A and B are shown apart, each in its own frame.
Chain A
Amino acid sequence: MGERDGIPISIDELNKLKAIAERARRNVIKMQFYDHSIHVGSSLSSIEILTTLIFRYIRDGQEKINKDWLILSKGHAAPALYAVLHEKGLIKEEELWKIQAIDGLLQGHPEVYIPGVDMSTGSLGQGLSFGIGVATGIKMAKGSGRVFVIMGDGEQDEGEVWEAATHAVARNLDNLIAFIEVNGYQLDARTSEVKPKDFLPDVYKAIGWRTFSCDGHDILSIINAVEEALKARKPAVIFAKTLRGKGFTPIENTKIQRANPDVARQFLLNT
């Protein structure tokens, strides 16, 4: 167990996490000044989940089997991960502004040579299987590490996710917690227009997962869901309702990934 599992969050800590998330959000919006092709909308959908996991649950460490693992399977939300890792002190501010630059550290999708990144991702659908391997290896070695995997709702189209979903149950992995962000959009359109997604919680439950839900932008709601998931004694999945582009009104809750830098600049000046 993590040393802070189950301990109720204080108002001070909650305010601290909110402030971290807000700074990370503004930094993601600012990153598009420097590289206009980053996935802003998808990143802003993940800010509070990443903040809560990295600042409250993830235990760092050199020992692979006794640390917690964070796998951003929806790797296009890399800017959010980098912005939160910067708050943690693992990535320097100047690197944020060099995102995707040829001489920069931060790649368009996560790579393991970036501090705080546990898996190289980017191609959707691959994180959960890897997480099952890590979680299984930890259990074989009787380690205390836990594995958190963050996926998107669009990502659930991938066949490998289904291969992995039944596999996690077969291995009875109680040290594996998956998040599925439900922001209702994938690259081309609303998820509902591409392939139905509403059945997902029922299907995960039917397969044998413990399923939970939360408001993916409400830190208290996320914490409550994680606390329940940690006690599940089974693979647990948290369906987190989120908004693509959350907090950046020019693109919030649309399929648009990014705004014109002038619009972004004006937005930051006004908020």
Chain B
Amino acid sequence: MLQGSFYSIREAFGRTLVKLGEEDKDIVVITADVGDSTRASYFREKFPDRYFNVGISEQDMVNFAAGLAAVGKKPVVADFAMFTMRAWEQIRNTTGRMNLNVKFTVTHAGYSDSGDGSSHQALEDIALMRTIPNFKVVVPADAAEVERSLPVIIKEQGPIYYRMGREYSPSITTGMDYKFEIGKAYVLKDGDDLAIMGAGVVLWDALKAAEELEKMGISTAVINVPTIKPIDENTIEYYARKTGRIVTVEEHTIYGGVGSAIAEVVVQKYPVPMRFIGSITFGRSARSQRELLDYYGINAENIIKKALELMK
């Protein structure tokens, strides 16, 4: 089921970015000394004149990108999710207030920087970024969805926060035939009794859980919600009505993240019982992202447990 390293999320990002750079000469890439780690370095190799490493200085990186956008360039910031948060106020006060066309494409989100531990694991970024007016927030599910969605993200006018992990990318959307649209949720599996909704690589666990629940006679839908803002209210409401129960799953804090965004829709459109799976504490070091997801219960086993609670 797991793909080789070639299909890592960051590899898909780096390679797709180069293709986009060939099509649009206005795209410039800015990083804060993590070009190799984010794979933005592939862009540097191809277009050295359109690649800027500002050094280890995220606040400067953010407003430098904003300045480039102000004169018509299309800046793509490539950075770690954690350290982009460091410049949240610059993102809010310059890019957000001026509604500038800057794309924040961040890697190493969630537990994906497993070994480096809690200082490097971004579990609060979706909550922070979705509160900024003018911003859109997108979380692709896997490497295939990066290849499918990044061109759409870069072509969209206005600021976007685009959140990725590092290597780990179990196949979720590979082979699926759909056109990625900002603001749209996608049905990975249909079902009538319960809906699992979420974003990112943890949807693999959602699909595994759904498989097990089906064996128990529980017809389970799995919905991929890659755009957290603006969120697909219609699909969420439809499945709230259809199934009457929702479990959300995310590699992010449950306070203000994907589950919260879904709940905001559900309580206003069609309230149903919900359960939230995600982080509630700082992380720790481990040898792999998978170990951490299991350690913190962001996995199929826990999804099944919560689903059965809702079925009682």
Binding site for B on A (CB under 8 A): 64-65, 111-112, 118-120, 122-123, 125-126, 129-138, 140-141, 143, 145, 159-160, 163-164, 166-167, 170
Q: Are A123 and B93 in contact (CB under 8 A)?
A: yes
Contacting B55 at CB < 8 Å: which of A135, A140, A166?
Answer: A166
Report the interface size class on chain B: 20 to 34
**Distance of A138 Cα from B65 Cα, bound (Å):** 13
Does B201 have its Cβ within 8 Å of any Cβ on chain A?
Answer: no
Q: For B72, what are the chain A residues with a Cβ–Cβ distance below 8 Å?
A: 64-65, 137, 141
Q: Are B97 and A111 in contact (CB under 8 A)?
A: yes
Q: Are A136 and B64 in contact (CB under 8 A)?
A: yes
**Distance of A120 Cα from B61 Cα, bound (Å):** 17
Q: Are B94 and A130 in contact (CB under 8 A)?
A: yes
Q: Are A137 and B70 in contact (CB under 8 A)?
A: yes
Q: Are B94 and A132 in contact (CB under 8 A)?
A: no
Q: Are A163 and B57 in contact (CB under 8 A)?
A: yes
Q: Mark B63-100, 1 if CB is under 8 A from A, else 0.
A: 11111111111010000000000000110011001100
Within 8 A of A (CB), among B214-272: none
Closest to B66 in A: A130
A167 in contact with B67 given A126-B94, A160-B60 (CB within 8 Å): no
Q: For B71, what are the chain A residues with a Cβ–Cβ distance below 8 Å?
A: 64-65, 133-134, 137-138, 141, 143, 145
Q: Mark B17-53, 1 if CB is under 8 A from A, else 0.
A: 0000000000010000000000000000000011010
Q: Are A120 and B54 in contact (CB under 8 A)?
A: no
* A contact face: mostly helix, strand, loop, or mixed: helix
**Distance of A126 Cα from B57 Cα, bound (Å):** 13
Q: For A164, what are the chain B residues with a Cβ–Cβ distance below 8 Å?
A: 57, 60, 63-64
Closest to B50 in A: A140
Most chain A beta-carbon contacts within 10 A, residue among B28, B72, B75 = B72
Q: Are B68 and A160 in contact (CB under 8 A)?
A: no
Closest to B96 in A: A120
Does B118 have its Cβ within 8 Å of any Cβ on chain A?
Answer: no
Contacting A134 at CB < 8 Å: which of B59, B61, B62, B70?
Answer: B70
Closest to A137 in B: B71
Closest to A111 in B: B97
A123 in contact with B57 given A133-B64, A133-B70 (CB within 8 Å): no
A123 in contact with B67 given A130-B94, A160-B59 (CB within 8 Å): no
**Distance of A54 Cα from B227 Cα, bound (Å):** 44
Q: Are A137 and B98 in contact (CB under 8 A)?
A: no
Q: Are A130 and B64 in contact (CB under 8 A)?
A: yes
**Distance of A136 Cα from B49 Cα, bound (Å):** 11
Q: Are A167 and B55 in contact (CB under 8 A)?
A: yes
**Distance of A137 Cα from B73 Cα, bound (Å):** 7
Q: For B90, what are the chain A residues with a Cβ–Cβ distance below 8 Å?
A: 126, 129, 160
A167 in contact with B64 given A137-B73, A159-B59 (CB within 8 Å): yes
Q: Are B67 and A132 in contact (CB under 8 A)?
A: yes
Contacting A135 at CB < 8 Å: which of B67, B75, B89, B97?
Answer: B67
Closest to A67 in B: B71
Most chain B beta-carbon contacts within 10 A, residue among A64, A120, A141 = A120
Q: Are B68 and A133 in contact (CB under 8 A)?
A: yes
Q: For B54, what are the chain A residues with a Cβ–Cβ distance below 8 Å?
A: 163, 167
Q: For A118, what are the chain B residues with a Cβ–Cβ distance below 8 Å?
A: 70
Closest to A136 in B: B68
> How near does chain B come to A166, taking the closest CB pair, in angstroms?
7
Most chain A beta-carbon contacts within 10 A, residue among B63, B66, B98 = B63
Q: Are B98 and A112 in contact (CB under 8 A)?
A: yes
Nearest 5 pairs of A and B residues by beta carbon: A133-B67, A129-B63, A163-B57, A163-B60, A137-B71
**Distance of A131 Cα from B93 Cα, bound (Å):** 15
Q: For B67, what are the chain A residues with a Cβ–Cβ distance below 8 Å?
A: 129-137
Q: Are A133 and B63 in contact (CB under 8 A)?
A: yes
Q: List 25 A-B contacts (CB under 8 A).
A: A64-B71, A64-B72, A112-B98, A118-B70, A120-B93, A120-B94, A123-B89, A126-B93, A129-B66, A129-B90, A130-B63, A130-B66, A130-B94, A132-B60, A133-B65, A133-B75, A134-B67, A135-B67, A137-B68, A137-B72, A137-B73, A143-B71, A145-B71, A160-B57, A163-B60
